[in-house]
A and B are shown apart, each in its own frame.
Chain A
């Protein structure tokens, strides 16, 4: 049994890299290349964590986070914004929209998983350890 991660990201290279890192760390990965697909996937798969790019076509990351937080059965899922929006205020904007954590690009592949998991709830961390 693996933890499920949903990646919402439009850049193929980034998608590839995040998928690579998560799979290497024993996650089951679901991919979505835009917001709408991302929300559908979240409802369908009830992932344990969502990695969310901010600059996306049509619906941006902030809007996606808000939409996800509206759904009661998805509210507990940690959402980690992974974004190249690294200016002052971008983090606050992401957190206000409903993100649980915030990781700037370029990511450091060596400690990316560790940083992501630091945003997990106690219960989720325990579950991860037990697995």
Chain B
């Protein structure tokens, strides 16, 4: 008994003594990584492959999934609603990204030079970024109401402009949803642009002034080229954000999500409805694969285009 006790005490000590410091550190490293590896394998990688697999099945929660080949994709590409949604998604992107980037750059460019109440004004622009779309969806819906209630229509009527239908109109609804989405993200982009502007060494500007360059030339020849890493980051970040738009749309069109007549419906909302309103899980998985492909192509394309322009 005492001897067994002694060996059990000395054995681990001897065992660890025999390991070199390097080996011990490798063991520590893998110990630290055990849980994270399980997490990423089980909650990121496995579900990714499962999504691809489900997109080839007719799984609907009731019956077990059956392999049906590319039928989901055929159905999707033949569906006019899918193409409407596809179109909407790209409208959010091609209006949202340039408008928000140009606006935030102009604000950042001038705000960077303002000293008086700098952080107060910066806070005004940043605060909307901290809100949740569920809450702000209500505020904006209220703003868009017709006259006795709606703030915007109330303002328009006092300056003599006709009432606008906003969210009730097939033509205006998408823009009406996009404005709050741009509004909410603007402050973040302003801060990132300002960080980028600060990172440009002051000596570049001094040299340019000594060479007699005007403000406009300095902007074109120095600020914008040197700001490129920041711009690339923001273009990609905001494009992905607009392609994945959901919260604002869902919360501003709750009674008929994506309405009127699918005029505001983006891809993610279609995925949500296919999966969790009609429970066509296989079909919804095929739509997520399309979303994945679009995001991949758009980010690679933008990185490529912006890198070439050096």
Q: Do A and B come from one complex?
A: no
